[in-house]
Amino acid sequence: MIPLVLTILGPNHPTTVTDVSSLVAAHGGSWNESRLVTLAGRFAGVVKVTVPESEEQPLLDALEAMDGVRFLWERGDDSPDPIAVHQVEITCTDRPGIVRDVTAAVVAHDGQLERFRTEYHAAPMSGGVLFYARMRVRVAAIEALREALMGIADDLLVDVRELPT
């Protein structure tokens, strides 16, 4: 089985996931994991599927023929990574450049982002906006990364926990 990572972008239509998953199944494949979201009225997703090697190109051709939906794809790599996985949650007052600073700290500590989700929330006490991020990161020196993240802003709160691999 060949792992494929598909990026999907299209209109927010109720059958998009069913249509894509039906094509994967019709080509002998399995839908392994995904991150799907609707933003600004558009559907976007990243999906890992596995498919028999003989069905890789027929599946990709069938996906490309879907009306109104665009795909990018690459072959994946399923080799295990020995570096520990951590979930890191960050909360602070929003400011320009916060995503750049947080991700730069991860990179500076030889970390690899596996997942990254950000949100904004009203700050009831100050009337401002709070930035919230949750990331799944592979990094060997988690304490050094925690210290670097806490140094980004005075009010930045960092919660870290190791996840099973």
How far is C-alpha 101 from the geometric centre of its chain's CA atoms?
Answer: 18
Decide if domain 2-75 falls under CATH 3.40.720.10.
no
Q: H/E element holding 131?
A: strand 129-138
**Rounded CA separation 57/60 (Å):** 5
- Is pLDDT above 70 for 165? no
What's the whole-number mean pLDDT along residues 11-33? 95
Tens digits of per-residue pLDDT, 112-131?
Answer: 999 999 998 887 777 788 99
Q: H/E element holding 75?
A: strand 70-75
Decide if domain 85-163 falls under CATH 3.30.70.260.
yes
Structure-block tokens of residue 70 = 């665009």
Tens digits of per-residue pLDDT, 89-105?
Answer: 999 888 899 999 999 99
Q: Say if pTM beats, i.e. exceeds, 0.75.
A: no
Across the chain, mean pLDDT equals 91
Residue limits of CATH 3.30.70.260 in the chain: 2-75, 85-163
**Rounded CA separation 133/141 (Å):** 20
